[in-house]
Amino acid sequence: MSSLAFYVHIPYCVRRCGYCDFNTYTPGELSIDLNFRDVSRSYIDLLLQEINFARQISTAEKVPTIFFGGGTPTLMEPVDLGRVVSAIGEKFDLLPNAEVTTEANPDTVTQEKLAALRTAGINRISFGMQSATPHVLDTLDRTHNPENVLKATQWAREAGFDEISVDLIYGTPGESISDWQRSIDTALSLPITHISAYALIVESGTKLGAQVKRGDIVMPDDDETADKYLLADEKFEAAGFRWYELSNWSKPGSESRHNLAYWNGDNWWGAGPGAHSHIDGRRFWNVKHPTAYAQKMANGGDPKHEEEFLTDSQKASEEIMLKIRLADGLAFDSLTPIQIDTLEGFKSQGHLILQSWSEKRAVLTRSGRLIADRIVREILL
């Protein structure tokens, strides 16, 4: 029996951050009550319907991971998130050691809430820390006080969360190398097992995108962002965090199994507005707006917007594109002789690890990771 990972999307935020282009909505945008209590119940009801629908579509039994993302999942009542976990457990075989993660805003969690989340069956928590520098958080339009992160992670530990992760963003306009150094050091001082660190991507259609386009904000030089990546990798490794994906580091055994499912090409179901799913070479995604989603659910329960069936060559492209980013790398079995030949060039320039190469795997070095997209283009185009 194949397995099926679940991604559960919570498309709500108290306010929208300036860099964010995720599918999320504020109370103002939806004209709803600020405390989300009523929304929580009715929205989760829709998700339960979609889980029922997934049960009809999927032949999988085992569910190894659940991931609540957003948006801000902690705007929902922990009890309601618990209803989702239970529903998946009822319809599928939720494995006893399943990884159940929620994203959380360090500003809005309380000790009580964290305890309630544990009770709801959630055993891994990922805090949006972003930076330890107030002026960087300000540029990112984040509201939290950097000190809240320490408190939140300590409370999470006290509440019984063994797996705690923080997200960091580097390369924000105005962020100096020492600002970034401070974020790294702060993160490493926390009781955590996992770190994701992303270079800021300016998306068109966001507030930040508009500011950059107008010239109000100047993006930092790519070379400086590269230096920040190298600095982070060095420090994380020194602190016992091992890179396992380009932007992810963990203590041994604390990798995000849910995210690995994406990168390994496993099957997963994305529930909620705009969520993407992948089942056996078929990718499909739901309608984006919560209202449209609610209507679809009311009209028979298939919220799908579009789908695509991957050709063999598309599957091969995706495999290369995703696995090259992993510490396990890309096995030569998945490559053509010409592609291996192209990679040989990158190897000789120091972008691939020699030891792995001799074991017939292409694994990126630090410098290689920084040009991973270019390497993929060279292999595939």
Partner 1 sequence: MPAIPLTKAPQPSQTKPEQIRNFCIIAHIDHGKSTLADRMLGITEVVELRNMRAQYLDRMDIERERGITIKSQAVRLPWRSGIDGQEYILNMIDTPGHVDFTYEVSRSLAACEGAVLLVDCAQGIEAQTLANLYLAMENNLTIIPVLNKIDLPAAQPEKFAEELAKLIGCQPEDCLRVSGKTGAGVTELLDQIVKQIPAPVGDPLAPTRALIFDSVYDTYRGVVTYVRVKDGHLSTRDQIQMFSTGVRHEMLEVGVISPEPMVSKGLGVGEVGYVITGVKDVRQSRVGDTITTYNNPTKVALSGYKDPRPMVFSGLFPLDGADFPLLREALDKLQLNDAALVYEPESSAALGFGFRCGFLGLLHMEIVRERLERESNLSLISTAPNVVYSVTTGDGKLLTVTNPSEYPDGKIEKVEEPIVRATVLAPSEFIGTIMELCQERRGILMGMDYLSEDRVEIRYTLPLAEIVFDFFDQLKSRTRGYASLDYEPIGEAEGDLVKVDILLQGEKVDAFSAIVHKDKAYAYGTMMTGKLRELIPRQQFEIPIQAAIGGRIIARESIRAIRKDVLAKCYGGDISRKRKLLEKQKEGKKRMKMVGRVEVPQEAFVAALTTDADIDKAKAKAKERE
Note the residues at the interface with partner 1 (CB under 8 A): 7, 197-199, 201, 222-223, 225-226, 229, 246-247, 259, 262-263, 268, 270, 274-278, 283, 285, 308, 314, 317-318, 321-322, 325, 349, 367, 369-374, 376-377, 380-381
Asked if 85 and 107 count as a contact pair (C-beta separation under 8 A), the reply is no
365 contact partners, CB below 8 Å, separation of at least 6 = 350, 351, 352, 353
Which of 144, 369 has the CB closer to partner 1? 369
> In the complex, what is the shortest distance from the CB of residue 8 to partner 1, in angstroms, rounded to a whole number?
12
Asked if 182 and 240 count as a contact pair (C-beta separation under 8 A), the reply is no
> In the complex, what is the shortest distance from the CB of residue 209 to partner 1, in angstroms, rounded to a whole number?
15
Which of 198, 357 has the CB closer to partner 1? 198
Measured over all CA atoms, what is the biggest interatomic distance in the chain, rounded to whole angstroms?
60
Backbone angles phi, psi at 182, to 5 degrees: -65, -40
For 1, 18, 27, 293, 380, the CA distances from 171, given in Å and listed in that order, are 43, 15, 30, 35, 28
> In the complex, what is the shortest distance from the CB of residue 80 to partner 1, in angstroms, rounded to a whole number?
22
> In the complex, what is the shortest distance from the CB of residue 261 to partner 1, in angstroms, rounded to a whole number?
9
Which of 12, 36 has the CB closer to partner 1? 12
> In the complex, what is the shortest distance from the CB of residue 265 to partner 1, in angstroms, rounded to a whole number?
9
> In the complex, what is the shortest distance from the CB of residue 199 to partner 1, in angstroms, rounded to a whole number?
4
> In the complex, what is the shortest distance from the CB of residue 370 to partner 1, in angstroms, rounded to a whole number?
5
Which of 78, 272 has the CB closer to partner 1? 272
Which of 114, 260 has the CB closer to partner 1? 260
Backbone angles phi, psi at 273, to 5 degrees: -60, 130
Asked if 153 and 127 count as a contact pair (C-beta separation under 8 A), the reply is yes
For the four alpha carbons of 343, 347, 349 and 351, in that order, the dihedral sign comes to positive
Closest CA to 44 of 66, 7, 76: 76
DSSP string, 85-145: HHHHHHHSEEEEEEEEEEEE-TTT--HHHHHHHHHTT--EEEEEEE-S-HHHHHHHT----
Which of 66, 159 has the CB closer to partner 1? 66
Which of 360, 377 has the CB closer to partner 1? 377
Closest CA to 161 of 197, 126, 196: 126
Which of 148, 367 has the CB closer to partner 1? 367
Beta bridge partners of 10: 70
> In the complex, what is the shortest distance from the CB of residue 318 to partner 1, in angstroms, rounded to a whole number?
6
Q: Which amino acid is at 21?
A: D
3-state DSSP assignment of residue 357 = helix
